[in-house]
């Protein structure tokens, strides 16, 4: 566990945060970090939601992306596209692109060590996704047979899943007094929705 904690803290000193700080004209001393220790949900799928579509700025349309396995394949530098979709309030999900990421990361039940910094609160500093998350157990990487995944092959299942994710996103937004949210979450092996984190959408 101590090595995992050190691994997260060490990412504070990586090149990407330094570049982002320099671009924002900020000092390294403006940045603070803690390490969160959380139970890792065994993720069947991971997703990111923006409760206001960032491409159209439509306040009544949500935009989401989904991948198989843990969210690291979504936010990390893995080749391929996530499944992306939009949904209008009161409507049905509309598929924008199919999943083409062939790699998925899975892990057994364990703890995950994640950064929690004030990066999102610093004006001009792109704090999201700059720091490492470290699992207590190594990921089991594998290639996906995308053409066999129910989220690809079964339209009824896909629509129900994406609608459930979108409605959960709007419920999170409502819980934050209607402030648009940038949400990360996952679907477990029982198709339950878990919210990992939510922050104001910028």
Query: Cα separation of 180 and 116, whole Å?
Result: 20
Mean pLDDT of 84-100: 94
Beta pairing partners, 15? none
Span 16-31, average pLDDT: 79
> What is the value of pTM for the model shown?
0.75
CA distance to 4, 84, 93, 148, 169, per residue, from 89 (Å): 41, 17, 10, 30, 11
Q: What is the dihedral of CA 104, 192, 59, 84, to 10 degrees?
A: 30
pLDDT digits (tens, 9 = 90+) for 25-73: 887 777 777 888 887 778 889 999 999 999 999 999 999 999 988 777 7
Q: What is the pLDDT of residue 142?
A: 67
pLDDT given at position 58: 95
* Predicted local distance difference test score (pLDDT) of residue 90: 92
pLDDT at site 104:
77
């Amino acid at each position: 566990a101590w090595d995992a904690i050190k691994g997260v803290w060490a990412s504070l000193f990586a090149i990407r945060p330094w570049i982002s700080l320099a671009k924002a004209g900020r000092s390294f001393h403006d940045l603070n970090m803690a390490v969160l220790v959380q139970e890792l949900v065994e993720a069947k799928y991971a997703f990111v939601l923006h409760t206001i579509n960032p491409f159209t700025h439509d306040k009544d349309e949500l935009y989401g992306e989904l991948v198989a396995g843990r969210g690291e394949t979504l936010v990390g530098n893995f080749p391929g596209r996530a499944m992306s979709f939009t949904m209008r309030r009161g409507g049905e999900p509309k598929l924008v692109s199919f999943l083409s990421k062939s790699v998925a990361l899975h892990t057994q039940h364990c703890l995950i060590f994640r950064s929690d910094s004030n990066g999102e609160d610093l004006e001009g500093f792109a704090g999201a996704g700059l720091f490492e998350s470290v699992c207590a157990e190594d990921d089991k990487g594998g290639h996906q047979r995308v053409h066999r995944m129910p989220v690809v092959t079964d339209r009824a299942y896909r629509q129900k899943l994406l609608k459930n994710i979108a409605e959960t996103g709007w419920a999170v937004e409502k819980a934050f007094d209607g402030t648009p949210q940038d949400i990360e979450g996952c679907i477990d092996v029982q198709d339950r929705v878990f919210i990992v984190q939510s922050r104001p959408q910028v």
